[in-house]
């Protein structure tokens, strides 16, 4: 390996329904089409060295997905971004690229900022449900995972939740959520709102991830593509919303 390049990409439109496995396969095909000089693993079945972190769940759009590539030769990140973006289908859009230095992506990302559009839900109903969720110390939900059914605490992952109205019949929930194991997803938060307040949207919600990054004390997220620096503002412990 000669160089690492970090990419930020978006998952938009109909491609939000791609699974992470589908996204990974599509990226590998795009890397071949764009003639990106990948470094490969050793062994009998070499694979391109690609590091993923924090993939958005199937059905969720995202403006902030991240991947890190190991390259066999040095390239200009802006040229790689343009070539790969042209080789990927519309809806998988590479929006940023930098030469990677210092800590890897896993050390740069521990939270996400989401916005969830809720057609058919009025803002006062959502605001009351969110207030009840935030009032609780623990709100557990259950979900099937690759390791079987798991119960986990949604409230512990919630850092910030803000409600607003798009119109009289559509509410918007914006939230910052810590990355936990298993990850607390927007649908888990909505399940928790149903548990504590009976909120059950009749129309499928529309979640979009706006940011990922390292959580600061002020509940903003540090950009994973930014250069390394001393950032003492990482949040320690739970913050009330």
Backbone angles phi, psi at 115, to 5 degrees: -125, 130
pLDDT computed for residue 229 by the predictor: 66
The b/e string for 200-230 (b: 16+ C-beta within 10 A; e otherwise) is ebeeebbbbbebbbbbeeeebbbbbbeeeee
pLDDT for 221 beyond 50: yes
Distance from C-alpha of 193 to C-alpha of 107, rounded to nearest angstrom? 30
CB atoms within 10 A of CB 151: 9
pLDDT for 75 beyond 70: yes
Average the pLDDT over 55-82 and give the result: 97
pLDDT for 233 beyond 70: no
Distance from C-alpha of 154 to C-alpha of 177, rounded to nearest angstrom? 9
pLDDT computed for residue 170 by the predictor: 98
- Each residue's pLDDT tens digit, 24-61: 999 999 999 999 999 999 888 889 999 999 899 999 99
- Each residue's pLDDT tens digit, 90-135: 999 999 999 998 889 999 999 999 999 999 999 999 999 999 999 9
- The model carries a pTM of 0.91
* Signed CA dihedral, 42, 6, 3, 25: sign only: positive
- Is residue 38 a contact partner of residue 28, using CB atoms and an 8 Å limit? no
- Each residue's pLDDT tens digit, 2-30: 999 999 999 999 999 999 999 999 999 99
Residue 30 neighbours by CB under 8 Å, 6+ apart: 84, 87, 88, 92
| Spacing of C-alpha 47 from chain mean position | 24
Residue 52: is it exposed, middle or buried by C-beta count within 10 angstroms (0-12/13-18/19+)? middle
pLDDT computed for residue 227 by the predictor: 87
pLDDT for 239 beyond 50: no
For the record, the structure tokens of 25 come out as 């396969």
| Same-fold call for 3-107 versus 109-222 | yes
Query: Average pLDDT of the chain?
Result: 93
- Each residue's pLDDT tens digit, 140-153: 999 988 788 999 99
Instruction: Say which CATH architecture domain 3-107 belongs to.
Output: 2-Layer Sandwich (3.30)
pLDDT computed for residue 118 by the predictor: 98
pLDDT computed for residue 235 by the predictor: 37
Distance from C-alpha of 61 to C-alpha of 64, rounded to nearest angstrom? 9
Which one of 3.30.70, 1.10.10, 1.20.120, 2.40.30 gives the CATH number of domain 109-222? Answer: 3.30.70
Spans of all domains in the chain:
3-107, 109-222
pLDDT band at 76 (very low <50, low <70, confident <90, very high): very high
pLDDT band at 231 (very low <50, low <70, confident <90, very high): very low
Kindly list the distances between the CA atom of residue 123 and the CA atoms of 35, 71, 95, 173, 196, in Å, as whole numbers in the listed order: 49, 48, 32, 9, 17
Distance from C-alpha of 112 to C-alpha of 241, rounded to nearest angstrom? 15
pLDDT computed for residue 186 by the predictor: 97
């Amino acid at each position: 390996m000669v160089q690492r390049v970090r990419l930020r990409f978006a998952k938009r439109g109909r491609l939000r329904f791609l699974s992470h496995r589908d996204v990974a396969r599509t990226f590998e095909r795009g890397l071949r089409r764009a003639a990106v000089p990948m470094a490969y693993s050793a062994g009998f079945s070499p694979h391109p060295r690609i590091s993923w972190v924090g993939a958005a769940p199937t059905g969720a759009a995202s403006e902030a997905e991240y991947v890190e590539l190991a390259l066999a030769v040095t390239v200009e990140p802006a040229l790689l971004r343009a070539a790969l973006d042209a080789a990927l289908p519309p809806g998988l859009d590479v929006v940023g690229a930098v030469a990677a230095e210092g800590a890897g992506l896993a050390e740069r990302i521990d939270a996400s900022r989401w916005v969830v559009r809720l057609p058919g839900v009025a803002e006062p109903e959502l605001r009351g449900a969110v207030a009840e969720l935030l009032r609780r110390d623990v709100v557990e939900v259950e979900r099937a995972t690759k390791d079987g059914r798991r119960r986990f605490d949604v409230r512990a992952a919630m850092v910030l939740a803000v409600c607003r109205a798009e119109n009289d019949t559509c509410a918007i929930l914006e939230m910052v959520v810590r990355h936990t194991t298993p990850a607390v997803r927007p649908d888990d938060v909505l399940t928790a709102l149903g548990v504590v307040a009976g909120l059950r949207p009749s129309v499928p919600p529309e979640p979009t991830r706006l940011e990922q990054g390292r959580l600061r004390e002020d509940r903003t997220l540090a950009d994973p593509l930014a250069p390394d620096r001393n950032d003492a503002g990482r949040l320690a412990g739970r913050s009330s919303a």
